[in-house]
Amino acid sequence: MTLSRPVLITGLLALTLVAAIGSILFGPVHLSLARMVAAFTGHGDRIASTILLELRLPRMLLGLGVGAMLGLAGAALQGYLRNPLAEPAVLGTSNAASLGAVAALYFGLVELHPVMLPALSVLAALLSLVGLSVLAGRSESPLTLILAGIAIATLATAGVSLALNLSPNPFAAMEIMTWLLGSLENRSFDHVWIAYPCIAIGGLLLFWDGRALDALTLGEDGAQALGVDIQRTRIRLLLGTAIGVGGAVAVSGAIGFVGLIVPHLVRPLTDRSPSAILLPSAIGGAALLTFADLAVRLIDTKNELKLGVVTAFLGVPVFLIHLMRERRLW
Amino acid sequence: MNSPTKIAALAFPLLALGGAALWATTPAPMPHPATKPRRIVSLNLCADQLVLALADRDQIAGVTRNATDTEMSGEAAKARGQPVLKNSAEQILAIDPDLVVGMPASRSAPMRALKGHRFNLLDLQSADTVDQIYASIRQTAVAVGHPERGEALVARMQAALARLGKPGGGKVAAYYQRRGFMTGTGTLIDDLMQRMGLVNLAAKLDKPPLSQLSLEEMVAAQPDYLIVESATDKIADQGTEMLHHPALAGIPRISIPQAWTVCGSPAYVQAAEGMAQQLARFQDRTHAR
């Protein structure tokens, strides 16, 4: 079922808008519609404006931004690697970025300058991607790449755990959970200012190469014959993914599977060319993560659910179905 | 188990141990008061503080590993130079103590491991009110052979607390810990708040001894004061970061070191005095306006 591009984009945008509005409307404190309208028009009481503008608004913006980045990175990586299982979390990029953020936070580097948080996160993400291309190299099998990704993700997860155990923080266990499963709880505009510049730069670099990704479906030689500079494309993709995912993870922790599910969900609605799924994946990612974050808030648990729990429950079935289909390649 | 600071501090293994053994009901075999024990071993942080406050330095043969941590123990200075034990049965066996103090001692892991051996045990109860602190102080003082010190300490504490009055004036306060944990009624913190004349937000909202309150709910509840642990004054991780969210910026803060409140100990007085001073400072400011 292929939808025309304007219809698809409009539909996804509408879905995202619903998620965003829901994210503003619902929270642990019930606010009447009148109070909310008053708060947004600047005549609200202090409590309602604080809840809406300082708590729910930054959280909604981060849900949209982080989700868009993860969805886009998943689409770009799947296109570039020609591997349907590629995405930041499966390849270990998100966990590595978490490790960078943890190192910056718990060893006091952030106190030197706030920019250290996204900087270390981006650096760690970049290192993981470079490590991945060294490990998986030009291997033909898509599973080599996934296995290398799992190795990197496992190493980074262990690193997060170890870093927190070594830091003088007695509450390490709780913190480890947040960094590995992701959460948008209690975020403020400070976090928006950390994440958004990274997401903007990363997004730009990833959108740049839509054409090259299409050409790559013909293989590297074919793409080169069409005039694609493979080397530059690779560098832009690595940097874009590292900067965008690094900045997103620095404020939200490693949220899995968004980058995996979204491209698979939107691909059947497009002409299936890698460039055609970039924008829909970004918008769909924004909608999905914002909905997931809404679910986290609405499902009544004693402790707030972690985002990664919700996305994993959505993502693992998709992942498994693809593994089944790939079985003949094992 | 109704001491929330301890529940929240589950990451501290010693506190958790102390907390896990709180429901012990076996009566404490009272040590013989006539002879002063010479080799006292304490089995957890809260027992450490009482032993350090009441026994002679050379009577003490071992305290636990957090006893010297100023962040956690009100008697950290006195613990310096004392032998620190690793909660191991072997070490205790080697010391051959003539008094083992715990909260309670008989349920602690090393004492269970040494079931066949007979030690002179002092089982203390965890204190949730100042009267229970007085009782623990007297019990410990008798056991370590200095009952007069216990009486004197209790008298000093009572006198100091009597001087404080009720500077809270019926205002609402929330004891807000990292990750949004809020301390409720039936706790030492609640006892402290009532003494100050403050209303515990947890009581007002009918919350259990330890509950988690989201930032939104805290903003909506708008307490007059937030009481926080001074260790959270600086952002060290995500758990403390939330206490510094701009949405809470408008609520006046009282900051009390955890070392004074985590155990029922003589430091209760310091906690009360610190709280009273900070309350008085806020009220001066309001009057000045």
Task: Indicate whether A222 belongs to any domain.
Answer: yes
Contact B246 A188 (CB under 8 A): yes
Contact B220 A51 (CB under 8 A): yes
pLDDT (tens digit per residue) in A11-64: 999 999 999 999 999 988 888 888 888 888 888 888 899 899 999 999 999 999
Give the residue, B267 or A163, on which the prediction is more confident.
B267
Which residues 9-38 of chain A have a CB within 8 Å of chain B? 27-29
Give the residue, B30 or A246, on which the prediction is more confident.
A246
CA separation for the pair A70, A194 (Å, rounded): 16
Q: Which of A271, A278, A276 is nearest to A202 (CA)?
A: A278
Work out the mean pLDDT of chain A and round it to a whole number. Answer: 88
Question: Which pLDDT does position B20 carry in this prediction?
Answer: 35
% of residues, chain B, pLDDT over 90: 52
Q: What is the mean pLDDT of residues B151-175?
A: 93
Q: Of A47, A105, A171, which has the smallest distance from its Cβ to B220's Cβ?
A: A47
Task: Indicate whether A259 belongs to any domain.
Answer: yes
Question: Which pLDDT does position A326 carry in this prediction?
Answer: 60
Element spanning A188, H or E: none
DSSP symbols for A163-217: HHHHSS-TTHHHHHHHHHH---TT--HHHHHHHHHHHHHHHHHHHHTHHHHHHHT
Q: What is the mean pLDDT of residues A289-302?
A: 87
Question: B193, B175 in Cβ contact below 8 A?
Answer: yes
pLDDT (tens digit per residue) in B202-241: 999 999 888 889 999 999 999 999 999 988 888 877 888 8
Query: Which residues of chain A make contact with B241, given a CB cutoff of 8 A?
Result: 186
Burial of B138 (0-12, 13-18, 19+ CB in 10 A): middle
Query: Which residues of chain A make contact with B11, given a CB cutoff of 8 A?
Result: 170-174
Q: Which long-range contacts (CB under 8 A, 24 or more apart) does A35-44 make?
A: none
- Give the total number of structural domains in chain A: 1
Please report how many Cα atoms fall inside a 13 Å half-sphere around the Cα of residue B49, on the Cβ side: 28
Q: Which of A77, A117, A312 is nearest to A216 (CA)?
A: A77
Give the residue, A177 or A270, on which the prediction is more confident.
A270
pLDDT (tens digit per residue) in B14-71: 333 333 333 333 444 454 555 789 999 999 899 999 999 999 999 999 999 888 888 8
Contact B214 A28 (CB under 8 A): yes
Task: Indicate whether A148 belongs to any domain.
Answer: yes
By the CB < 8 Å criterion, does A189 face chain B? yes
Contact A105 B242 (CB under 8 A): no
Question: Which pLDDT does position A161 carry in this prediction?
Answer: 87
Question: Which pLDDT does position A140 carry in this prediction?
Answer: 62
CA separation for the pair B231, B98 (Å, rounded): 36
Contact A175 B237 (CB under 8 A): yes
Q: Mind telling me how many Å the CA of B171 is from chain A's nearest CA?
A: 18
Question: B103, B47 in Cβ contact below 8 A?
Answer: yes
Task: Indicate whether A124 belongs to any domain.
Answer: yes
Question: Which pLDDT does position A1 carry in this prediction?
Answer: 60
The one-letter code for the residue type at A122 is V
Q: What is the mean pLDDT of residues A83-95?
A: 89
CA separation for the pair B173, B165 (Å, rounded): 17
Question: A112, A119 in Cβ contact below 8 A?
Answer: no
pLDDT at residue A90 greater than cutoff 90:
no
Q: Mind telling me how many Å the CA of A154 is from chain B's nearest CA?
A: 22
pLDDT at residue A66 greater than cutoff 50:
yes
Question: Which pLDDT does position B231 carry in this prediction?
Answer: 85
Task: Indicate whether A159 belongs to any domain.
Answer: yes
> What 3-state class would DSSP assign to B227?
strand
Q: Which pLDDT band, with edges at 50, 70 and 90, does A143 fall under?
A: confident
Task: Indicate whether A165 belongs to any domain.
Answer: yes
By the CB < 8 Å criterion, does A304 face chain B? yes
pLDDT at residue A98 greater than cutoff 70:
yes
Question: A263, A135 in Cβ contact below 8 A?
Answer: no
Contact A170 B12 (CB under 8 A): yes
Give the mutation candidate from B70, B216, B218, B235 for the A interface (greatest A CB count, under 10 A): B216
Question: B59, B140 in Cβ contact below 8 A?
Answer: no
CA separation for the pair B206, B196 (Å, rounded): 20
Give the residue, A186 or B174, on which the prediction is more confident.
B174
Q: Which pLDDT band, with edges at 50, 70 and 90, does B12 fall under?
A: very low
By the CB < 8 Å criterion, does B170 face chain A? no
Task: Indicate whether A155 belongs to any domain.
Answer: yes
Burial of B110 (0-12, 13-18, 19+ CB in 10 A): buried
Query: Kindly report the CA angle at A305 between A302 and A309, in degrees rounded to 5?
Result: 145
Q: Of A55, A169, A170, which has the smallest distance from its Cβ to B216's Cβ?
A: A55
pLDDT at residue A312 greater than cutoff 90:
no
pLDDT (tens digit per residue) in A218-242: 888 888 898 888 888 989 999 999 9
By the CB < 8 Å criterion, does A301 face chain B? no
Question: Which pLDDT does position B37 carry in this prediction?
Answer: 92
Question: A125, A241 in Cβ contact below 8 A?
Answer: yes
By the CB < 8 Å criterion, does B217 face chain A? yes
Residue A200's CB is within 10 A of a number of other CB atoms, namely: 15
Question: Which pLDDT does position B111 carry in this prediction?
Answer: 83
Contact A51 B219 (CB under 8 A): yes
pLDDT at residue A201 greater than cutoff 90:
yes
pLDDT (tens digit per residue) in B82-115: 989 887 888 888 888 999 999 888 888 888 888 7
pTM to 2 decimal places: 0.81
Q: Which of A11, A99, A61, A83 is nearest to A259 (CA)?
A: A83
Domain of A226?
61-329
Task: Indicate whether A316 belongs to any domain.
Answer: yes
Q: What is the mean pLDDT of residues A60-86?
A: 93
Can you list the domains of chain B with their CATH numbers? 4-161 (3.40.50.1980), 172-288 (3.40.50.1980)
pLDDT at residue A171 greater than cutoff 90:
no
Query: Which residues of chain A make contact with B214, given a CB cutoff of 8 A?
Result: 27-29, 185-186, 304
Work out the mean pLDDT of chain B and round it to a whole number. Answer: 84
> What 3-state class would DSSP assign to B62?
strand
- CATH code of A83's domain: 1.10.3470.10
Q: Mind telling me how many Å the CA of A163 is from chain B's nearest CA?
A: 13
Question: Which pLDDT does position B232 carry in this prediction?
Answer: 85
Q: Of A29, A54, A105, which has the smallest distance from its Cβ to B237's Cβ?
A: A105
